[in-house]
Structure 1
Amino acid sequence: MVNKIAVLGSLNVDTTLSVQRMPEPGETLAVSKKKQAAGGKGANQAIAAARSQAETMFIGQVGQDEAGQMMIQALKDDGVDVSHIYEDSAVATGSATILLDANGQNEILVFGGANQNITGKTLNLSGLAGQDFLITQFETPQPAALAAFKQAKADGVLTILNPAPAHEILPELLPLTDLIVPNETESALLTGIEVTDLDSMQANAAAFKKMGIPNTIITVGSRGAFFATANHTGFMPAFKVHAKDTTAAGDTFIGALASQLDSDFSNIEAATQYAQRASSITVQRYGALPSIPTKDEIISANAEVR
């Protein structure tokens, strides 16, 4: 069975600047390499789902510019349905500048552009009916996410919220969320409970449940991912690899996860392991979209579990 996935999210042209280390305040450093590629959390998640053979639709917004056409074409190249992307004449396509150090860690500066200009008039939700999952993040306005999640519930579509970048969540969005997937920093910000060990992860999941969110996955970087549903709770260790670039690792995880997840979440452990394997491949490559693996690559990968 092929999952049908809609992604409401950001479309950014990414410029990656490679540096030996991150600069100190007021310091000037030389850039050893400069690359430009399609990206944005929404685009990354959609491509990850599509490359894992999910039937994927994108809902979003670009400017009427060359960058916007580049983003649309990048999605089309991976078979993503782009018919629900609005072209905005008032603002430029979103972009991101990524500082990447020699250890593969990054710092990212984002210009929201058209992503932040989505309104009720430009948000096209006509294709939600019939989808299995709707994914969104916070690189597009939360009111758009709220409208989309309301429509998803009306259409019987399960919702996945990636609360990144971390912000306070609109209270109305919480009971409309079927699965929340933060990293440890985002989870702690939202619950007030620092993520340090398995007990604190379970406490975070319990806090989310009180907020009205029944299912939780907390990603903790190179350590792995914690998952909690009504019937399954556990921790999936990360695969042991040498990371070159962590850009899009979390997005790859979410898109790959959604491509495999059953509607009753009964296979949460297997889907989490698949998503972890996908992310382990992404971090061994450079760039956002270019680093995301296909289903065949994920299945054939033979990484050692930590």
Structure 2
Amino acid sequence: MNGSQRTRVRVLGNLNHDLLLTGVDELPQWGRETLGESRSLLVAGQAGYIASALGHLGATVAVCGVVGDDADGAQLRDELGRVGVDVSGVHAVPGRTGLTIALIRADGERAFVSDLGVSALATREMFLDFLTMTRADFTIVAGTSNTPGLTAADLAAVFSEAAADSRVVFDPGWDPNGYSAKTRAESLELLALVDLYLPNEDEAVAVTGADRVEDALRMLDAATRGHVVVKRGAAGSATLIDDAVHTVPTRRVRAANAVGAGDTYDAALLVALGEGRPLAGAMEFASAAAAHFVERAEDRYPRRSDLV
């Protein structure tokens, strides 16, 4: 594929709204209150952020996930549709759409509390049906740590089906239940079916139990049938090239809001790879996209013209 063609991406995973409260200097103690500076309600979940970023970057994107049959679910579908995302694979089921409250410090650090809502109702059959009805260059499965109805066996079936016509990409996000020995073993086993694994630094260390991110990267690379890129925030991103750790720095910015930056990185990486860039070059493009996203409080998603 070259730059004149649009990268086709299927996004499967968690969909919800994020309520962002910025300027929170300290987390409140029980029974007490603290003040923020501003708030915003956004289409989110990892699948939502990735699909939105892909739409802004001009990719051909279709998303599959679950929302409630409430006003929030309808709004989420409408907003994704407005940026060119095919939402025919988004299922509205009885119940409430998920919500995450993000408290954001002035330096961009954040803490999250989530109500999964109907996210637990995402099923293997739902994802498999979506795969049979769509075609793509990449299939990214994201945010599965917040879709508790899906087992490791379910994800293995989804990866195997997706591999029939696309490269399989995985970014499960942080597991709120922690990383037990069972969780680690299942995660590493799944990577044998994955072409591109995209954890952040904390997730990479937690999955492997390694003390250093470089050691975690090597362990994950050995388990993955393709490549691993570890996102390291302000420290950039890292992968293995010819058995050596290759780090791509990110542009230093004043962080307005880092929520969703890793998902924007994922989206830009896939667009660049779809256009035929080598992995290192695609990481540079993705780092530029994430930096653009982080330094803006509004109109955050980059467009191609922003990254030339």
Contact 2:14 2:45 in 1 (8 A): yes
Aligned-partner residue type, residue 226 of structure 1: A
- What CA distance in whole angstroms lies between the structure 1 residues aligned with 2:134 and 2:190? 19
CA shift, 1:39, in A, is 1.5
Return the letter of the residue paired with 1:132.
D
Equivalent runs, 1:269-288 vs 2, <5 Å: 269-286=280-297
Match of 2:211 in 1: 194
Aligned residue number for residue 60 of structure 2: 55
* 2:9 aligned counterpart, secondary structure: strand
Q: Which amino acid aligns with 1:181?
A: L
1:121 to partner: Cα distance: 4.3
1:172-191 equivalences under 5 Å are 172-191=189-208
CA gap of 1:129–1:72, structure 2 versus 1, over 3 A, is: closer
Match of 2:147 in 1: 140
Aligned-partner Cα distance in 2 for 1:164–1:271: 21
Give 1:22 deviation, angstroms: 2.4
> Compared with structure 1, are the counterparts of its residues 146 and 93 closer, same or farther at alpha carbon in structure 2 (3 Å cutoff)?
farther
Structure 1 position 120, deviation (Å): 3.3
Offset, 1:72 = 0.4
> What is aligned with 2:87?
82
Q: Please, which runs of 5 or more residues in structure 2 have no aligned partner?
A: none
Alignment of 1:228-247 (within 5 A): 228=240, 234-247=246-259
Equivalent pair of 1:208/1:214 in contact (CA under 8 Å): no
- More displaced 10-residue stretch of structure 1: 234-243 or 103-112: 103-112
Cα 1:140/1:298, change in 2 over 3 Å: farther
Counterpart of 2:158 in structure 1: which amino acid?
A
Partner SS for 2:234: helix
Point out the structure with the larger helix share: 2
Aligned length: 289
Structure 1 residues 51 and 229: alpha-carbon distance in aligned structure 2, compared to 1, 3 A threshold:
farther
- For the aligned residue pairs, the C-alpha RMSD in angstroms reads 2.2
Q: Given the superposition, is the C-alpha separation of residues 128 and 230 from structure 1 closer, same or farther in structure 2, using an over 3 Å criterion? A: farther
Q: Select the residue among 99, 102, 110 that pairs with 2:103.
A: 99
Q: Aligned equivalents of 2:119 and 2:160: distance in 1?
A: 20
Q: For residue 199 of structure 2, what is the amino acid of its counterpart?
A: P
1:180: how far off?
A: 0.8
User: Residues 158-205 of structure 1: CA distance to partner in whole angstroms, max 9, x if unpaired?
Assistant: 11111312453535522111111111110001112133xxxx52x323
TM-score by length of 2: 0.86
Runs of 4+ with >4 A deviation: 229-233
Q: Percent identity?
A: 24
Separation of aligned partners in 1, 2:256 and 2:269: 22
Following the alignment from structure 2 to structure 1, what is the Cα–Cα distance between the partners of residues 136 and 76? 23
